[in-house]
Amino acid sequence: MKHREDASARDRIISAIEENDVFVILTHVSPDGDSIGSLVALWRVLVHRGKQCFALFPGDMPPEYLFLLGGEDLPRSLPSGQKWDVVVLLDIPSISRLPLSLNRQIPPCKELINIDHHESNDIRGTINWVDPSASSVGEMLCHLLEHARYDVSSEVATALYTAILTDTGSFRFPNTTSSSLRAAARLVTYGVNPARVAQHVYGSHSLRKFQLLGLALATLQTCFSGKVAYMWVTRKMLDEVGVSPVEADGFINFPREIKGVEVAILFKQEGPEGEVKVSLRSKRRNVVVSRVAEMFHGGGHPLAAGCTLSGSAETVQELILKAIAEELEQAGMAASASSLSGSPSKG
Ligand SMILES: [Mn+2]
């Protein structure tokens, strides 16, 4: 049933592309490899097909993905008063994740296309294609372009490959399936150079990023008998090293990579004073971190989610660890408070 719906959603998306001329493509704030790769790929395809197409700048881009833009710039805001035929949302599960310049408003349009792989997606477009079994929106777009028999240039393939590579954690996360690997392999036949992409994504960091990582790693701790690991990036660390918070992109993988850890947490003080951004990762489907994020008005996937809390470092850490303990308990992994090792980090 689901597959039939997906197939018809895909056909309707292709008709909407063919029948319209003026497009806006949007992706989520705090963009990652999947959102940037998908945005750039679809933008290039539509421009190549002679469409007038705006891909809106989603917010600070981690520098390792800038190569996908090939020196081109994205508009920071949309021209006002413009009527759009089609607005395409990529990897955006809810209105709260729209680029900030839009003020939580989807631009008025005839057709609203919602393409996403977040189970929690609650956007009602005129066409909705939400496939939680897909590793990434990049993988979905690969299927869409092939289904439409559009040609996939090596630039488009590179953007989609980067999306799949990064959303699967370099083909290490549970969303690494035969479907995602096959899509990546086909993209290589369209002209991707995997070593070159890896060099950009993983081998072009700044020295300061590693200096920040050094400070953050000093706060790394485990609790609940080693099932939970957490780490802090504080305002003070960012100021000390003199970097923007985007440099902490990917830090969540360090607590995640400790043996025996089921849930990894990264606490980041990046916005206004007293606000803490919390990233959560789980290794198993029965420990659902999006449920924890939702308790604090955040969201995400079962295995990767996030939320923002206000309060002191101690309070935020305590609230999150308590919620994680309950989630572990529900999953049959007892996590009594007494197994909490060490006192909450002062950040
Ligand atoms: Mn994604």
Ligand 1 centroid to residue 30 C-alpha, Å? 12
* 193 in the same domain as 108: yes
Residue 78 CB burial class (10 angstroms; 0-12, 13-18, ≥19): middle
pLDDT attached to residue 3? 59
pLDDT attached to residue 119? 87
Ligand 1 centroid to residue 116 C-alpha, Å? 7
* 140 in the same domain as 240: no
Sheet holding 22-27, edge to edge: 52-55, 22-27, 84-90, 109-116, 127-130
* 235 in the same domain as 301: yes
Residue 185's CATH number: 3.90.1640.10
- φ and ψ of 300, to 5 deg: 140, -150
Give 167-213 as a DSSP string.
Answer: HTTTTTSTT--HHHHHHHHHHHHTT--HHHHHHHHHS---HHHHHHH
Residue 344 within any structural domain of the chain? no
Ligand 1 centroid to residue 69 C-alpha, Å? 18
In terms of DSSP bridges, do strands 228-233 and 263-268 run parallel, antiparallel, or are they unpaired? parallel
* 290 in the same domain as 162: no
Ligand 1 centroid to residue 143 C-alpha, Å? 15
Ligand 1 centroid to residue 229 C-alpha, Å? 23
Give 55-90 as a DSSP string.
Answer: E---SPPPGGGGGGGTT----SSPPTTPPEEEEEEE
* 100 in the same domain as 56: yes
Residue 283's CATH number: 3.10.310.30
Ligand 1 centroid to residue 92 C-alpha, Å? 8
Ligand 1 centroid to residue 276 C-alpha, Å? 22
* 196 in the same domain as 285: no
Ligand 1 centroid to residue 330 C-alpha, Å? 27
In terms of DSSP bridges, do strands 228-233 and 84-90 run parallel, antiparallel, or are they unpaired? unpaired
Ligand 1 centroid to residue 146 C-alpha, Å? 20
Ligand 1 centroid to residue 39 C-alpha, Å? 11
Residue 249 within any structural domain of the chain? yes
Ligand 1 centroid to residue 117 C-alpha, Å? 7
Ligand 1 centroid to residue 341 C-alpha, Å? 33
Ligand 1 centroid to residue 343 C-alpha, Å? 34
pLDDT in tens for each of the 347 residues of the chain? 455 667 799 999 999 999 999 999 999 999 999 999 999 999 999 999 999 999 999 999 999 999 999 999 999 999 988 889 999 999 999 999 999 999 999 999 999 999 999 988 999 999 999 999 999 999 999 999 999 999 999 999 999 999 999 999 999 998 999 999 999 999 999 999 999 999 999 999 999 999 999 999 999 999 999 999 999 999 999 999 999 998 998 899 999 999 999 999 999 998 778 899 999 999 998 999 999 999 999 988 899 999 999 999 999 999 999 999 999 999 998 765 544 544 444 43
pLDDT attached to residue 342? 46
- Parent domain of 236: 207-339
Residue 29 within any structural domain of the chain? yes
Ligand 1 centroid to residue 163 C-alpha, Å? 8
Ligand 1 centroid to residue 136 C-alpha, Å? 5
Residue 270 within any structural domain of the chain? yes
* 85 in the same domain as 30: yes
Ligand 1 centroid to residue 93 C-alpha, Å? 10
Domain stops at, among 202, 229, 254: 202
Contact of 322 with 311, CB cutoff 8 Å: no
Ligand 1 centroid to residue 138 C-alpha, Å? 8
* 189 in the same domain as 313: no
pTM to 2 decimal places: 0.86
Residue 347 within any structural domain of the chain? no
Ligand 1 centroid to residue 166 C-alpha, Å? 9
Q: What is the DSSP letter of 107?
A: P
* 298 in the same domain as 190: no
Ligand 1 centroid to residue 323 C-alpha, Å? 25
Residue 109 within any structural domain of the chain? yes
Domain stops at, among 167, 183, 202: 202
User: Distance between CA atoms of 180 and 183, rounded to whole angstroms?
Assistant: 5
Residue 56 within any structural domain of the chain? yes
Total domain count, the chain: 2
Ligand 1 centroid to residue 137 C-alpha, Å? 6
pLDDT attached to residue 202? 93
Q: Give the dihedral sign, CA 292/97/131/34.
A: negative
Ligand 1 centroid to residue 34 C-alpha, Å? 5
Ligand 1 centroid to residue 135 C-alpha, Å? 7
Closest CA to 45 of 116, 135, 130, 149: 149
Domain stops at, among 202, 235, 267: 202
* 185 in the same domain as 251: no
Ligand 1 centroid to residue 304 C-alpha, Å? 10
Residue 345 within any structural domain of the chain? no
Ligand 1 centroid to residue 225 C-alpha, Å? 31
- Whole-angstrom CA distances from 286 to 20, 227, 282, 290 are 43, 14, 9, 11
* 241 in the same domain as 190: no
* 227 in the same domain as 179: no
